[in-house]
Structure 1
Amino acid sequence: MAISTLQNTFEQQFSLWVLYFFAYAFVGWLWESAYVSVRKRHWVNSGFLIGPIIPVYGFSMAAVLAVIEPFENNLVVLYLLSALLVTLIEYVTSWLMEQLFHARWWDYSDVPLNINGRVAIPISLFWGVGVVLIVKFIQPLVAHLVLYLAVHYGIFMVIGLIAILMFDFGFTLANVIAFGAATKRIGDAIEDKKGELKAKVADTGAKLEHEHAWLEAFRANTGEREQLPNLNFVQRRLLRSFPHLRLNNTRTSVKDISALAELRKRLAQRK
């Protein structure tokens, strides 16, 4: 009886924390996608994964909820602790993703008081305010939903969600590994074309018609364009979802790589 009770207690606690992770990973995805979509004036899935979650938000809020209970009624401590925890998780996540994928997925280098471009004090202060508001106003609703799901669906729902997450992560990971090699080839081709056009201008004394003359050159030259790797939907989405993405294996901007990838897609659809 004692072992059965202990097992049930462990399963319940495990289910609750996993559901908290997924709940706040979804809330974070909804917030960030809405923010980016409003700025770009069209819908953007702002997550790294295909599914509607951003794991860093789930981990951050789960960590905060695990630590803040003794300080829940002390707004000052709650604010400082929340800002510190979220900042630490954001920094570690940025570093790990750069080591794994050889790319900086977000960059705060232009924000004052940043630390290696991975985190910035103004952003951290904002996260502190956001977490306090979530704990005070959103968490009671989320806690009610999570408890309902844990009681009615329990470990089976948790196992299903983890399985979907693992499939999503594996599929995205496979695409990102190929993405690095493909974007390097595209970036190198763009830099070669820009250099070729600049040399031509220097030799003839002419002027480039506009700054995107290199893109028009690829549009006109089917052979050169078709020799480049074709980015799939997932890879093109990553370029759109992370406008501040900085690839370590090429000095070409993500904006230029994305422009050429979209050009290839449009021209291929016309055939």
Structure 2
Amino acid sequence: MFGTPHESALGWFLYFSAASFLGWMLEAAYRSVKERRWVNPGMLSGPFVPIYGFGALSIALLTRVMADGSPVLLWTTLAIAPTAVEYIASWLLEKAFGLRLWDYRSLPFNLKGRVCLLFSSAWILLVLLAVFAVEPFLIARIASIDPETLYFTSGAIVMYFLMDTANSIKSLINFKSFIEDLKELTARGGVFQPLFDFGGRRLPNEIRRLLKPLKAFPQLTRELKPMLHAIPERITAKLEAIVGGRYFRK
């Protein structure tokens, strides 16, 4: 479909990247409208949410592997696949970082808070959109790219993904480390004191490092809430204003 096996692999990587970008656009629009402020969703800083890319790849692979089989089995599998990807991603991220980046336990018909009926239904609609519109459009456009441009574009995106992923992993590790240190501090009855206190002008650097994961995954506020009493009120007030006070009050 994309030429040589090597070019085919790069073509599918571009398809993954494009689907991740479209997923970012969709989720950014949904969450920004819902929260009435700009939200940059997902683990990465840039305009990509990889879970949508993996979901799109799984759909594309399944439609090809199961093309000659039962249509009922194919569409049943396609309906389940994105939810399975979301469940596995949630499990892997929790095992890797000890953090649950999204949590559906407050929604009905959820499975361990990792997936739920509401968003699984949305995934099914996206499957239909992917099979009949997105995949044919993107595949045709990627197939028309000349090999030189394909190699250059893929290489540039790979480098970007590596750097952004490394920075995002670092931010999650910093968040987890801060939470663990704060737990130890509160267990001793201590109070958080920043290394450099900027008063009311800006958040201290230790708290600013929490903003990226908190803004992308507001459910992480539940990790902070039990220890908020150990953080000066002027800092928590500013943090709530940036992230969204309703997440701290849930």
**TM bracket, shorter-chain basis:** 0.7 to 0.9
Q: Is the 8 A contact 1:46 1:242 kept in 2?
A: yes
Query: Structure 1: which amino acid aligns with 2:11?
Result: L
Q: Deviations over 1:95-131 (max 9, x none)?
A: 1101111111011112222111111233223211221
Alignment-derived partner of residue 105 in structure 1: 101
Of 5, 8, 20, 1:10 maps to: 5
User: Matches of 2:129 and 2:26 in 1, distance apart?
Assistant: 14
TM-score w.r.t. structure 2 length? 0.76
Alignment partner of 1:103: what SS?
A: coil
Alignment partner of 1:137: what SS?
A: helix
- Aligned runs of 1:186-265 on 2, under 5 Å? 186=182, 230-232=206-208, 235-245=210-220, 251-252=226-227, 260=235, 263=238
CA separation of 1:29 and 1:75: change in aligned 2, threshold 3 A: farther
User: Matches of 1:246 and 1:124 in 2, distance apart?
Assistant: 24
Of 137, 151, 154, 2:133 maps to: 137
CA separation of 1:229 and 1:265: change in aligned 2, threshold 3 A: farther
The alpha-carbon deviation at position 43 of structure 1 amounts to 1.1
User: Matches of 1:32 and 1:63 in 2, distance apart?
Assistant: 19
- Between structure 1 and structure 2, the one with the greater Rg is 1
Q: Deviations over 1:42-74 (max 9, x none)?
A: 1110121111101111111011101113549x8
User: Matches of 2:227 and 2:78 in 1, distance apart?
Assistant: 37
Alignment-derived partner of residue 114 in structure 2: 118
- Aligned runs of 1:50-65 on 2, under 5 Å? 50-65=45-60
User: Matches of 2:73 and 2:79 in 1, distance apart?
Assistant: 10
Q: Deviations over 1:222-248 (max 9, x none)?
A: 79999x862336x30221221223666
Aligned identity (percent) is 27
CA separation of 1:261 and 1:78: change in aligned 2, threshold 3 A: farther
Query: Structure 2: which amino acid aligns with 1:232?
Result: R
CA RMSD of aligned residues (A): 3.8
CA separation of 1:122 and 1:36: change in aligned 2, threshold 3 A: closer
Of 162, 166, 170, 1:166 maps to: 162
User: Matches of 1:139 and 1:264 in 2, distance apart?
Assistant: 41
Matched, 1:45 2:21: no
Number of equivalenced pairs: 229
Unaligned runs of 5+ in 2: 242-250
Q: Is the 8 A contact 2:97 2:176 kept in 1?
A: yes
Alignment partner of 2:162: what SS?
A: helix
Alignment partner of 1:18: what SS?
A: helix
User: Matches of 2:206 and 2:213 in 1, distance apart?
Assistant: 14
User: Matches of 2:80 and 2:87 in 1, distance apart?
Assistant: 11
TM-score w.r.t. structure 1 length? 0.70
Alignment partner of 2:218: what SS?
A: coil
The alpha-carbon deviation at position 188 of structure 1 amounts to 6.9
CA separation of 1:252 and 1:46: change in aligned 2, threshold 3 A: farther
- Aligned runs of 1:179-190 on 2, under 5 Å? 179-186=175-182
